[in-house]
Structure 1
């Protein structure tokens, strides 16, 4: 198989607004359109004073407390808002190109890139990683998204030819 899509389990997702600062949870704040990772936590730049914190399931309370103690102006648990899908494989970039206008060439969008964009009329957050992509899509669009993803991946599936 040259494209692999795996839904990640219920992820901790916290929207954070900051008044000022240069670090969050021990990691430097990401520059626009990027994300940083440290100790199993991703911090995504979402806007001038807005960040999305992603972590493994069950860390909502721990991270929310740490963020409030660090002086975050607002912390909102949005864990149930989005489905998280990891897309990997030799043709993952090609599949995304079918429905996304972002140039995913590694020279333009290297690992660490994070953008909010449309993928086939569906608002997503797209993270470029060394091993592929992480896609966050709203729950209400998850069925549509997975159906589209399955269809867009068909041409890249290795299907054995029938023997004669």
Structure 2
């Protein structure tokens, strides 16, 4: 007999890397390199042509403005940030539970542009520690030197032969955003690449 009990969606949802949490912790090394998932981050795809009414409305509503050059990030990892993906394409990232998509849709109104909730489209992995750039360089073709890739810069590149968004969130921290379906591959590759730095696992 069918049950009439309603189950809260948050009680059954699973993040793309939830089942890999223990493996990431075991592969991490205190003070050297750590890997973890930033689960359920709010992600909103935004499209608007610079100079248009839609661009102006969205730039004001997001609170950080919209970046207008490749690699530029408006905002910061502590709150809402907007990554440049193309001349008229951006990805806004905010903490879990943010009502960002609804707010931007309302702000856009009838102006030309597009707002799409993409929170389930990509996973968000954080690689941090002084050895993080060495791990990334094993398979990322981008120039990761601080002179070329400073803090709060983000680009589309590849890692472990798959496309990712790579965002340098701090001097020793990076967000890696693969498509959700490539999360397991990315995590396992990173754990393997981190293995040479293993000493004492992070508790």
Work out whether the TM-score is over 0.5.
Answer: yes
Name the residue aligned to 1:18: 48
User: Which deviates more from structure 2 when the two are superposed, residues 14-23 or residues 125-134?
Assistant: 14-23
Tell me the matched-pair count: 158
- The structure richer in strand per residue is 1
Cα deviation 1:78-137 (Å, max 9, x = unaligned): 111111001100100000000100010101100121111111111100001224100101
Checking the alignment, whether the CA contact within 8 Å between 2:101 and 2:115 is kept in structure 1 is: yes
Name the residue aligned to 1:83: 123
Please, which of 41, 47, 70 is the counterpart of residue 32 of structure 1?
70
Name the residue aligned to 2:97: 58
Give the deviation of 1:148 after TM superposition: 0.5
Residues in 2 aligned to 1:139 and 1:63: alpha-carbon distance in whole angstroms: 20
Give the deviation of 1:159 after TM superposition: 5.1
State the secondary structure of the residue aligned to 1:133: strand
Name the residue aligned to 1:96: 136
Please, which of 123, 127, 148 is the counterpart of residue 189 of structure 2?
148
Name the residue aligned to 2:81: 42
State the secondary structure of the residue aligned to 2:150: coil
**Root mean square deviation of aligned Cα:** 1.8
Name the residue aligned to 1:109: 149
- The structure richer in helix per residue is 2
Give the deviation of 1:63 after TM superposition: 1.3
Structure 2 unaligned regions, length at least 5? 1-28
Larger radius of gyration: 2
Residues in 2 aligned to 1:102 and 1:147: alpha-carbon distance in whole angstroms: 21
Give the deviation of 1:64 after TM superposition: 1.6
Residues in 2 aligned to 1:45 and 1:145: alpha-carbon distance in whole angstroms: 22
Checking the alignment, whether the CA contact within 8 Å between 2:41 and 2:124 is kept in structure 1 is: yes
State the secondary structure of the residue aligned to 1:27: coil
Residues in 2 aligned to 1:147 and 1:83: alpha-carbon distance in whole angstroms: 14
